[in-house]
Amino acid sequence: MYILISNVGSTSLKFKLYRMPEEEVLCEAKIEKIGSTDGIYHYKNDINGRTHGEESTPLKTYAAGINMFLSDLCDKELGAIDSVNKVQAIGFKTVISKGFNGTVELDDRVMQGMKDYLFIAPVHNAAYISAIEQFRGILPETPMVGVFETSFHRTIPLENRLYPLPYEWFEKYGLAKNGYHGASFTYVSGEARRDGDYKKIIGCHLGGSSSICAIKDGKSFDSSFGFSLQTGLPHANRSGDADPYVVPFLEDQGMSFEEIREGLDKKGGLLGISGVSNDLREIEEAANAGNERAQLAIDVFVTDIVRYIGAFYAEMGGMDKLVFTGGIGENSSLIRRLVCERIGHLGIELDAQKNEKTRGNGIISAEASKVKVQVIAANEELGIARETFRCLKEKEK
């Protein structure tokens, strides 16, 4: 069975075509800077190794990126299949839909639920709605499956999820912690327990979006993400935790709701503090060159990571493995070192050389370290492919 997996970002699209249940990747593509005239496109056929790359191509809409990929997918030389009709399902790493959770077929009701929750995931839901609608137009008969980012966190006990707000708001609006990055932590939870039966894992997914998850007995026990995606750690552009009363205060100061929202959604996070970039590579470079606000952004980021690790350590009554994943977690030896230096007293000793060298996968703690520290390359797509396959098999029954 051929299953296409689509990971939609605010300005990016990633694809992987799997043969299931063999879990074999046949081809993949990464499309960046959608909405601009200098988009980046990378395609690779994983069977014959052929590639197609464009460094500055007009990619005004999601449709343009999707069509470019579909054309390569079925191309004589580059293609992995000869007709797009051979794709039996498309799985999406969807974020949140009102009234739906877990893995569900993306029918009109689920799509409506995503629209209803545009308010809590404005950037992500808008991008998914647009991409899914494009695919529905191109492949109207192909089942589309959404694997929602919140589903891994359904196991978080209520006392870890509930906010100290009027209880009726929880009953009426579901105002409680949702947790996100479910596809990533499902994968991390499985991979991290391959070399031992770790009961208390703390996973740090650090990237454009960042969150920390306490994984107890393989299940989510707590998450730094709250009700919306504007919570927890600082993200690339989105604020993390901030006092909720900043909103009425700024309104009282004369700012419009739209201006405040723009600050929280687009002008906050690492970009907001550094004033340099939303990309950690550029922030690290600027800090090295002596930019004080760039250094401050790194310091705030590290402190917030340390604070959540400490909180989850206390909540779980310990930690036997610490995991780094996501673009920053996999690649930034600086952030990993700064975090681990600050939590040495929790039983962590880093192997400095291994940490420096590791990109993607590896153990980076010293032999003597009480707590193992592991870097795991994020593979959200595989989790989505497994879930989509399971959903289709269940439908066949």
Q: Which is nearer to ligand AMP, 146 or 326 (CB)?
A: 326
Task: Tell the smallest beta-carbon distance from residue 100 to ligand AMP (Å).
Answer: 25
Nearest-angstrom CA–CA distance, 28 and 179: 28
Contact 81, 17 (CB under 8 A): yes
Nearest-angstrom CA–CA distance, 118 and 265: 13
Q: Which is nearer to ligand AMP, 113 or 380 (CB)?
A: 380
Q: Which is nearer to ligand AMP, 68 or 236 (CB)?
A: 236
Task: Tell the smallest beta-carbon distance from residue 327 to ligand AMP (Å).
Answer: 2
Q: Is 212 in the site for ligand AMP (CB under 6 A)?
A: no
Contact 391, 103 (CB under 8 A): yes
Q: Which is nearer to ligand AMP, 47 or 352 (CB)?
A: 352
Q: Would you call 152 exposed, middle or buried from its count of C-beta atoms within 10 A (0-12, 13-18, 19+)? A: buried
Tokens of residue 44, six digits: 């690779």
Listed in sequence order, the residues at least 6 apart from 257 whose beta carbon sits closer than 8 Å to its beta carbon are 251
Give the footprint of ligand AMP on residues 335-374 (CB under 6 A).
Answer: none
Task: Tell the smallest beta-carbon distance from residue 332 to ligand AMP (Å).
Answer: 4
Task: Tell the smallest beta-carbon distance from residue 224 to ligand AMP (Å).
Answer: 16
| Strands 144-147 and 87-92, sheet pairing | parallel
Q: Is 207 in the site for ligand AMP (CB under 6 A)?
A: yes
Q: Which is nearer to ligand AMP, 25 or 280 (CB)?
A: 280
Nearest-angstrom CA–CA distance, 205 and 325: 5
> Percentages helix, strand, coil for the chain, rounded to the nearest 5?
40, 20, 35
Q: Is 280 in the site for ligand AMP (CB under 6 A)?
A: yes
The number of residues that bind ligand AMP (CB under 6 A) is 12
Q: Is 327 in the site for ligand AMP (CB under 6 A)?
A: yes
From 274, 331, 355, 365, residue interacting with ligand AMP (rule: CB under 6 A): 331
Nearest-angstrom CA–CA distance, 26 and 48: 9
The interface region with ligand AMP, picked from 104-112, 225-233, 324-332, 368-376 by CB under 6 A, is 324-332
Identify the residue whose tokens are 């107890």. 216
* 3-state secondary structure (DSSP) of residue 56: strand
Q: Which residue lies nearest ligand AMP, judged by its C-beta?
A: 327
Nearest-angstrom CA–CA distance, 92 and 95: 9
- Site map 281..320 versus ligand AMP, x via CB under 6 A: x--x------------------------------------
* 3-state secondary structure (DSSP) of residue 11: coil
Tokens of residue 359, six digits: 């990109």
DSSP one-letter string for 77-105: TT-SSS-GGGEEEEEE----BTTB-SEEE
Nearest-angstrom CA–CA distance, 308 and 163: 17
Q: Is 179 in the site for ligand AMP (CB under 6 A)?
A: no
The interface region with ligand AMP, picked from 30-38, 54-62, 301-309, 326-334 by CB under 6 A, is 326-334
Contact 200, 320 (CB under 8 A): yes
Task: Tell the smallest beta-carbon distance from residue 280 to ligand AMP (Å).
Answer: 4
Q: Is 228 in the site for ligand AMP (CB under 6 A)?
A: no
Task: Tell the smallest beta-carbon distance from residue 19 to ligand AMP (Å).
Answer: 25
Q: Is 326 in the site for ligand AMP (CB under 6 A)?
A: yes
Identify the residue whose tokens are 């690492």. 270
CB atoms within 10 A of CB 293: 15
The interface region with ligand AMP, picked from 114-122, 253-261, 328-336, 338-346 by CB under 6 A, is 328-336
Task: Tell the smallest beta-carbon distance from residue 335 to ligand AMP (Å).
Answer: 7
Q: Is 105 in the site for ligand AMP (CB under 6 A)?
A: no
Q: Which is nearer to ligand AMP, 191 or 284 (CB)?
A: 284
Q: Which is nearer to ligand AMP, 88 or 277 (CB)?
A: 277
Chain centre distance of CA 351: 27
Q: Is 234 in the site for ligand AMP (CB under 6 A)?
A: no
Residues forming contacts to ligand AMP in the complex (CB under 6 A) are: 207-208, 236, 279-281, 284, 326-328, 331-332
